[in-house]
Homo-oligomer: A and B are copies of this chain.
Amino acid sequence: MRIALLGGTGDIGQGLALRWAYDTNHEVLIGSRDPERAREKAEEYETELDSRGVDREIKGFANAMAADRADVVVAAVPAYHLVDTIETVGDRLEDAVLVSPAVGMKRDDDGLHYNRPGAGSVTALAADAAPDGVPVVGAFHNLAAGRLADLDAELEWDTLLVGDDPDAKNIVADLAEGIEGLRALDVGGLANAAEVESVTPLLINVARENDGLHDLGVRFH
């Protein structure tokens, strides 16, 4: 598979890029609004992998160029850039699966809270912004970016998948389970995305309130 990480220079993009490059044979492309920045970060990831004895080529592109070449396109951008980013690459998504890991949150004195958009969820926003016929899968919402990007850290996490296209969801489940320590669980259709996205502020609040817990993910038993 060829995977494009739009916003692959950001923290969740970095984590997914390193893990896929380290744990699998999928080809990883880094996208950014700024192609020079994408190339710099791609080289940084290559150096990190090289220091662990893994020789992988990771290339950087402008987002649209990265999307154009990929089987799976992950929109690893903040929620407030999501619709713009998808619209920018929309005509390059033919035959690709679009993956949305973004979550909208707001902060107050008590902690972080889920900021549910009018569309019902951020994943639903992504689906609304995607061209007709491009399947959208919500995934990777609840992974702590810092631990994901630390290849010394063992993961013991589930990632929850929502989407209305079962084939697309299977493709993303396989990609997810290619990452060591990550289990993909189906949570049904896009209409179930809000409860998945709500877990992200919860993880941050739990880490904030409990000494010794940080960079959390979740496992279902």
Contacts and interface: CB of A to CB of B under 8 A. Distances in A.
A188 B202 contact: no
A213 to B, nearest CB: 7
B156 A110 contact: no
Number of copies: 2
B216 A202 contact: no
A168 interface: no
Contacts of A189: 110-111
**What interface size band does chain A fall in?**
35 or more
Contact of A205 (B195, B213, B216): B195
A195 B199 contact: yes
A209 interface: yes
Contacts of A110: 188-189, 191-192
A210 interface: yes
A194 B111 contact: no
A16 interface: no
Contacts of A191: 108, 110-111, 113
**Chain A interface secondary structure, helix, strand, loop or mixed?**
mixed
Interface string A171-193: 00000000000000111110110
B194 A113 contact: yes
A192 B150 CA distance: 29
A208 B192 CA distance: 12
Which interface residue of A194, A199, A219, A221 has the most chain B CB atoms within 10 A? A221
Nearest to A202: B195
A49 interface: no
A151 interface: no
Interface of A: 108, 110-111, 113-114, 156-157, 160, 185-189, 191-192, 194-196, 198-199, 201-203, 205-206, 208-210, 213, 216-221
26 contacts: A108-B191, A110-B188, A110-B192, A111-B187, A111-B188, A111-B189, A113-B192, A114-B194, A114-B195, A156-B221, A160-B202, A185-B206, A185-B213, A186-B210, A187-B206, A187-B209, A192-B202, A195-B199, A196-B202, A198-B199, A213-B220, A216-B220, A217-B220, A218-B218, A218-B221, A219-B219
